[in-house]
Amino acid sequence: MIIVFFQYLALFNSDLTLFIGRFHPLLVHLPIGFLLMAFLMEYLSIMKRFEHLGSSVPFVLILGFLSGLFSVFTGLLLSDGGGYSLELLNLHKWLGIVTVVLSLAAWLLRVTLYHDPLYKRIYRIVLAVMTFTLIGAGHYGGSLTHGPDYLFRYMPEPARSWFGVQEEVPEQLALIEDLNTALVYQHVIEPIFVARCQSCHDPDRTEGNLLVTSYTNLMAGGESGTIIEPYQKDNSELYRRLLLADRDNERMPPRGRTQLTADQIKLIGWWIDQGAPDQTVVTELEATLEIENILLSMTPAGQHFFDRISVPHASIERIEAAINRGFRISPVAEDLAFLQVGVQQSKNEITGEDMEFLLPLAEQITWLNLSRTTLTEDAVSRFSEFHHLTRLYLQNSTITDGALAEISLLKHLEYLNIYGTDVGDAGLAYLEPLEQLRSLYLWQTHVSRQAIADFKSTRSALKVNTGVDRYY
Ligand code: HEC
């Protein structure tokens, strides 16, 4: 009866009902507190020492009942908003209602028939049962808002096994073994959705009527229709939501949840602009240099250096000095001391003196981008001092064969881009000692096919990009 009445009320104005409903998660703490307190006081009062507590129980109980009633009311309004797992929701709802009914029953027994030993016993049993249903309602409520494993997620390991809690799937983004065989959706895009969106958009909690659990579901869209317009990221609801301000209610993932990184958002935008394909291999798609770098950083070559070595953070003064000299500097990733360095647009020439400003940061600099610059001989002679470099971008610069001799000393170098330069076969020969090299861009250079084939023959992990057939 009561429920029918509330649900009827819920039909009136769905904004208002949701507004009131959203107080529910706040309000429920009141009956939980009061009713647990009533239980505790009653059972303690059995002991002589705490006898005095007994007389306050009816007061605490009635507070528990009233706040509980209000919680049920707001809860029913909230459930009208939808989007919860039905099974969990039903359990939570009915345990909550039963708790409130039992608290009323307990209160009535307490204030009327407490003097009768039989009823007193019944009353105490009702109180105990109520406490059980209360805990159950609270637990399922927590599961609704925070996901089923909320309570146990951070439980220490031995206890996890005793309680039979399953190992959590690590949230780390999938590594791409090989860009030439990786499928763009399955290996690049889907892992992002699984890690950051699935908890709310799976069959348990289909928020916004959207499932991200498969390509087909994703493309089918949600409440508001399709959310991905192939080739048009800016017309795609999904992408739009990723870019909204933090405080915007439509922002995904919602405030308070682990957000996507800038790189992940770029990858999703790129994928949509490439037609949001399903089975396509990553290297078959067109990618800007920036996207290629992001993809590369997901391969073992792009990752293992940072895992192995840690460096202290560079001093802000040194970074500022280099920025004032015309460089662009930023961390390679959040929380990492490693730096990536580029050149500001106005700067066309790099001299030995310019490099002096980077040298104090040599420990930290691991990506250096001096593409499109004129490099003086002095500048080139300092290259070997940046011994933590893993990526060096020198495309369209004035780098020559001889300069590659300096580069051959950078033993961590994994990525070298010298496309559009005068480098020839002699220069390539200098790179022989670079054992970590995985990506080499030789498009529009004078390096011969034969030299590339020879160079590659001893290195199975190396990808050489010559522009024509991209990788071979
Ligand atoms: C904490 C839970 C939560 C997480 C995590 C989450 N969402 Fe949502 N999402 C919601 C809710 C609730 C709605 C419905 C309300 C709304 O439309 O804003 C929604 C709606 C949407 C919609 C609109 C569906 C439609 O058709 O109206 C899109 C698109 C979306 N989410 C994408 C994402 C993406 C992409 C991610 C991961 C990057 C994500 N969500 C993560 C809770 C979540």
Mean pLDDT for each 10-residue chunk of the chain (472 residues)? 52 61 79 91 88 88 91 78 64 90 91 86 91 88 65 55 44 66 91 88 88 93 93 95 87 83 92 94 86 80 65 91 93 82 91 95 93 93 92 92 90 90 92 88 89 85 69 40
**Separation of CA 13 and ligand 1 centre (Å):** 23
Q: Within 10 A of 382 (CB to CB), how many other CB atoms are there?
A: 18
What is the position in ligand 1's atom list of the atom closest to the CA of 224? 26
Report the separation in Å between the CA atom of 294 and the middle of ligand 1, taken as the mean of its atom positions.
Answer: 25
Return the ligand 1 atom nearest residue 268 CA. 35
Pocket of ligand 1 (CB under 6 A): 83, 196-197, 199-201, 207-208, 210, 221-224, 227, 237-238, 241, 250, 252-254, 257, 260
User: Rounded to the nearest whole angstrom, what is the distance from the C-alpha of residue 210 to the centroid of ligand 1?
Assistant: 7
- Ligand 1 centroid from CA 174, angstroms: 22
Instruction: Give the up-direction half-sphere exposure of residue 339: CA atoms within 13 A in the CB hemisphere.
Output: 25
pLDDT of residue 107: 93
Residue whose CB lies within 8 A of the most ligand 1 atoms, among 84, 201, 229, for a mutation test = 201
How many angstroms separate the alpha carbon of residue 139 from the centre of ligand 1?
24
Contacts of 317 (CB under 8 A, 6+ apart): none
pLDDT of residue 318: 93
C-alpha pair distances (Å), 166 with each of 88, 144, 173: 19, 19, 20
Residue nearest atom 9 in ligand 1 by C-alpha distance: 207
- What integer pLDDT is reported at residue 111 of this predicted model? 87
What pLDDT score does 299 carry?
77
Q: How many CA atoms lie within 13 Å of 116's alpha carbon, on the beta-carbon side?
A: 9
> Rounded to an integer, what is the distance from CA 219 to the centroid of its chain?
21
| Whole-number pLDDT of residue 333 | 75
Residue 461 to residue 353: CA distance in whole angstroms: 36
